[in-house]
Amino acid sequence: MENTLIIVSIIAGIIGIITGALGLAVAVISTKRQAQEMEWQKQEMERQKKETEKTNRLMFLADRIFDPTIPRELRLPFYEEYLSMGGNGTAVKFWLIEGEREKKAQQPV
């Protein structure tokens, strides 16, 4: 009877050690996964921040390009930066149309 009790205790101990080791492994894997997810979220937030900054800068430059109170020659650096940042669309079309209008206005009739 004593031997049976010792064998049962040893088996229970082994099962307890295995269960603890598995629990520890699951905890380590979970912690690692959470760390990776947090790093991904940090990178995503940084990417969104840069994208927002670029969008805001492009909007600022477009506002300057469209501002008729600023002489065209003073708006040129804004236009050039707008193009260098990959800006296109309405502001570029406006700039080109405005340039054509000025050329026509300067030509003698």
Q: 23-82: per-residue pLDDT in tens? A: 999 999 999 999 999 999 999 999 999 999 999 999 999 999 999 999 999 999 999 999
pLDDT of residue 25: 96
pLDDT of amino acid 75: 94
What is the number of residues in the chain?
109
What is the model's pLDDT at position 109?
63
| Domain residue ranges of the chain, discontinuous segments joined by + | 2-106
80, two tokens? 């050039």
Closest CA to 91 of 49, 52, 62, 57: 62
